[in-house]
Amino acid sequence: MPFDYQLDYSNLDLRKHPEFYRVGKGEQGVLLVEPYKSEILPYWRFKTPAIAKESAENIYRLFEEYRNNDDFVGMDMARKFIQMGYTRARRYTNYKGGHKYNEDGTVKERQIDPEKAKSADIFKAYWDKIRHNDDYLKRKKSHQETYG
């Protein structure tokens, strides 16, 4: 299990205690990890392609700042927010209002929104850039080997 949900993450500064951070799958824990959530969340937007571009650029800038400060947890959190930008924009691309299911639990018919698709593409490009970054991958492996 990547996160110990017994821990109170809201009071845990993972910049000071990276040993408690687990990479996890996908976006898992993205809204639990402080102080990164508070630093990155204000930039996370995807309503229009212009907003998504500014958002992805700002979050990627934070990724680079974390890297320059030798802060893998911050790098990974920036990656998670970029990934979440992609997945949420895709959800809104396919389903107006972002809701996939009807009230009776059946899947709604897709209604493709080309503007949201452009937003998703912007985040996808940054996500690919991060997840194929050799330095990020080395740091991820090192963190996992050191802390699990």
End-to-end alpha carbon distance in the chain:
10
Q: Is the pLDDT of residue 119 over 60?
A: yes
Mean residue pLDDT of the chain comes to 91
131 — pLDDT class (breaks 50, 70, 90): very high
Q: Is the pLDDT of residue 6 over 60?
A: no
The model's pTM is: 0.88
Q: Are 16 and 138 in contact, with CB atoms under 8 Å apart?
A: no
In Å, what is the CA distance from 72 to each residue of 76, 89, 97, 129?
6, 26, 34, 16
Distance of CA 54 to the CA centre of its chain: 15
Q: Is the pLDDT of residue 1 over 50?
A: no
Longest CA pairwise span in the chain (Å): 49
- Mean pLDDT in residue range 67-83: 97
Q: Is the pLDDT of residue 141 over 50?
A: yes
133 — pLDDT class (breaks 50, 70, 90): very high
pLDDT in tens, 34-71: 999 999 999 999 999 999 999 999 999 999 999 999 99
pLDDT in tens, 7-19: 566 678 999 999 9
